Structure 1
Amino acid sequence: MHSTFYLPTRIIFGSHSLQKLSEQKLPGKRALIVISSGKSTRSFGYLEQVEKQLDAAKVSYEIYDKILPNPILTHVTEGAQLAREKGCDFVIGLGGGSVIDSAKAIALMATNEGNLWDYIHGGSGKGRPMTKKPLPIVAITTTAGTGTEADPWLVITKEETNEKIGYGNDDTFPVLSIVDPTLMVTVPPHLTAYQGFDALFHSTEGYLNKIANTFSDQYSLEAIRLIGKSLPEAVKNGKNLKAREDMAMANTLAGMVETFSGCISEHSLEHAMSAFHPELPHGAGLIMISKAYYTHIADHHIADERMIAMAKALGKSDATQAMDFVHALVDLQKACAVDELKMSDYGIKKTELAAMVKNARENMGGLFGVDPMTLTDEDCLSIYQKSFK
């Protein structure tokens, strides 16, 4: 039994914990605050709260507010240039996974030369080693989806080539993360569901991953349990703070799963979908392919014991076979009103599916290598086809 536990992030968790930001030892005196291009961060007062905390800590700041739901290379390059021009010595990601991922990438490119794709492995990336450490990163999450506040990973799209690829190393862990469920009560029901299922699949994929271990297993099963228990209520009643707290904890635990284990090819397949169609929310794409994906695993009896354990964690206490997880998964999707999502509603065409298989393999092929099974291109195409509506 050999495992390595490394999580160099101070995590401040709990309702109203953002009010403790000014009490923390911040990693600099001038911050770049990265937020989304939407209105919610400002309109709900979250940016103002952060500004007041930084003022109290005597930290000055600049704001970069262009990040899209599927973040792109152009904005990483712009944000990094702004950080350099304004002399920022750390980066704050205030928002969901796309914002915090972008903050990590901006922190990397604020100190390193060239383009992020010079350092990306996969696709057209050049795979060069980073020569300088990134600026320190502070993550303040306003959603319960990616868990990126507790892992080193970031996913960015090179928009002109439809390459959506992940990157990360020991230096891209946030030095400080604030997980405040009160910042999540304003997330609309459909986005709450999409984000919750993203956290779920981080946990299930991490549990099925070849490199899963004792550390990741504990976080996986507890995250799955909390999501099965509280996601439907968080979707139906977003102001239920207990449900939001459960989902926030599940999300952070799922981020730890990403740190100690990792995703498998379900994520590769979805990233190809949203690379071609950036308007597709990542969690929605995962939901669309999940029934066919996990049915494939169940039908081939690849990980029966683990599938049964996940079914029990999701609330099906009498589970005895792998397909019980699929049944529990579909029941959860129905309870959250996301069981009828259609690829076609986001412009995906059947004629694109084969190209998406190729994209998934070329750009995030490494995740196929840690699958519990061997997925052929024909298997991947079949999963897409069975999922298509």
Structure 2
Amino acid sequence: MQFQYFIPTRILFGKGELSNLHKQKLPGKKALIVTSAGNSVKKYGYLSRLEEQLDLAGTAHVLFDKILPNPVKEHVMEGAALARENGCDFVIGLGGGSSIDSSKAIAVMATNDGDYWDYISGGSGKGKEVLAKPLPVVAITTTAGTGTEADPFAVVTNGQEKIGFGCDDTFPVLAVVDPELMVSIPPHLTAYQGFDALFHSTEGYINKTANEISDLFALRAIELIGRSLAEAVANGSDSDARADVALANTLAGMVESTSGCISEHSMEHAMSAYHHKLPHGAGLIMISREYYTFMANAKACDERLIAMAKALGFKDAKEPMDFVKALTDLQKACGVDQLKMSDYGITLEELPQMAANAKETMGGLFEGDPVLVSEEAVTEIYRRSYR
């Protein structure tokens, strides 16, 4: 029994908590608000509510609203330049994982020289040390998928390299998880995001680095998703279901912080690095059944697969493949069991190239796998998943 625990983020969780932001001790006097290029945070009033809270707190703010669903390095550099030009002393990520991840990366580059990829390990990154302390980050999540409000990691794309990066100083200092901000998410995105949170938890649970603390977070997150994700997809206004999935998401971020993802995530990063319009959660769903079938056949984590099946709702689970059955049932209940790689332009011919990319860009995640997942195995999982 040995582990390290470090999650230094103050979390305001619950319906209506955004309205309490102005009562908090914010980490500066001028904020760069980082949000998506889409219209949802404006359409549903989330941006105006945040600006009102900052005004009440006497905090000046500048808006950077160019972030894409798969964030790109160019926007990180542009946002960091804007923060420096305007003398911003902290960054607020408002939106889903893309906005909050971008806010972390921008916070790094607002105080450090060079190019963001200088600090990335993997792929063509130079792996340099972050010498200057990044700006503090405040995370206000409007989705329940990445758990990025409770972990230090930012996933950014540079060309055909999609790589995660983080350090102790990129943990948000403050996070707001308000399920009221999630009722506007359409059903298909609710499902994609919920499965992303699920796989953060399942990967963290079978990771070789799993420990007593991460197991607690992981099993509870899996249980909440099994209980409420299908209802949140079917009835987005169900506040209890939304709260369950929101909590699962935050717990999944804590799993990321205490254990971590394994090769399933590296495999999906390669998919969406080549096809930027592929939503991350959708890509994970596409490969998940074959991925966990591979794990079940490997007989390397049988008891953990059975425990995950029970947590997901298959109470009589006795075999490792029962997790795959429970997973398939949940995907059917959420209407996402028939997703096709081909619908996003992925071809059979490029599967070996994507497998190589997964190993080259985020090969470190493979080190946590409970069994060796070779490049050939990755290609075969892709192939079996292909439609």
Q: 1-side partners of 2:32 and 2:157: how far apart?
A: 21
Does 2:86 correspond to 1:86?
A: yes
The residue identity in structure 1 corresponding to 2:75 is: H
Specify the alignment match of 2:133 in structure 1: 133
Q: 1-side partners of 2:294 and 2:220: how far apart?
A: 24
Specify the alignment match of 1:237 in structure 2: 235
Q: 2-side partners of 1:232 and 1:3: how far apart?
A: 34
Q: 1-side partners of 2:149 and 2:375: how far apart?
A: 33
Q: 2-side partners of 1:204 and 1:118: how far apart?
A: 31
The residue identity in structure 1 corresponding to 2:302 is: D
Q: 2-side partners of 1:238 and 1:319: how far apart?
A: 30
Which segments of structure 1 move beyond 6 Å, counting only runs of 4 or more? none
C-alpha deviation, 1:377, in angstroms: 1.2
CA deviation vs aligned residue, 1:31-53 (integer Å, no higher than 9, x gap): 00001000000010000000000
Q: 2-side partners of 1:7 and 1:202: how far apart?
A: 16
Q: 2-side partners of 1:260 and 1:127: how far apart?
A: 22
Does 2:281 correspond to 1:283?
A: yes
Equivalent position to 1:182, from 167, 175, 180: 180
Q: TM-score, normalised by structure 2?
A: 1.00
C-alpha deviation, 1:99, in angstroms: 0.5
C-alpha deviation, 1:131, in angstroms: 1.1
SS in 1 for 2:114: coil
Once the two structures are aligned, what percentage of the paired residues are identical?
65
The residue identity in structure 1 corresponding to 2:337 is: D
Specify the alignment match of 1:358 in structure 2: 356
C-alpha deviation, 1:7, in angstroms: 0.7
C-alpha deviation, 1:203, in angstroms: 0.2
CA deviation vs aligned residue, 1:170-212 (integer Å, no higher than 9, x gap): 0000000000000000000000000000000000000000000
Alignment coverage as a number of residue pairs: 387
RMSD over aligned CA atoms reads 0.4
CA deviation vs aligned residue, 1:289-324 (integer Å, no higher than 9, x gap): 000000001112111000000000000000001000
CA deviation vs aligned residue, 1:61-82 (integer Å, no higher than 9, x gap): 0000000000000000000000
C-alpha deviation, 1:4, in angstroms: 1.1
Does 2:118 correspond to 1:123?
A: no
Specify the alignment match of 2:271 in structure 1: 273
Does 2:43 correspond to 1:35?
A: no
Specify the alignment match of 2:297 in structure 1: 299
Q: 2-side partners of 1:106 and 1:339: how far apart?
A: 36
Correspondence 1:254-265 to 2 at 5 A: 254-265=252-263
Instruction: Please say which of residues 179-188 and 373-382 is displaced more in the overlay.
Output: 373-382
Q: 1-side partners of 2:298 and 2:194: how far apart?
A: 27
> Structure 2 stretches of 5 or more lacking a match?
none
The residue identity in structure 2 corresponding to 1:367 is: L
Correspondence 1:8-87 to 2 at 5 A: 8-87=8-87
Q: 2-side partners of 1:192 and 1:94: how far apart?
A: 17
Does 2:329 correspond to 1:331?
A: yes
Specify the alignment match of 1:223 in structure 2: 221
Specify the alignment match of 1:166 in structure 2: 164
C-alpha deviation, 1:112, in angstroms: 0.2
SS in 1 for 2:12: strand
Q: 2-side partners of 1:199 and 1:59: how far apart?
A: 32
Q: 1-side partners of 2:300 and 2:8: how far apart?
A: 34
SS in 1 for 2:360: helix
C-alpha deviation, 1:5, in angstroms: 1.1
Q: 1-side partners of 2:334 and 2:88: how far apart?
A: 42
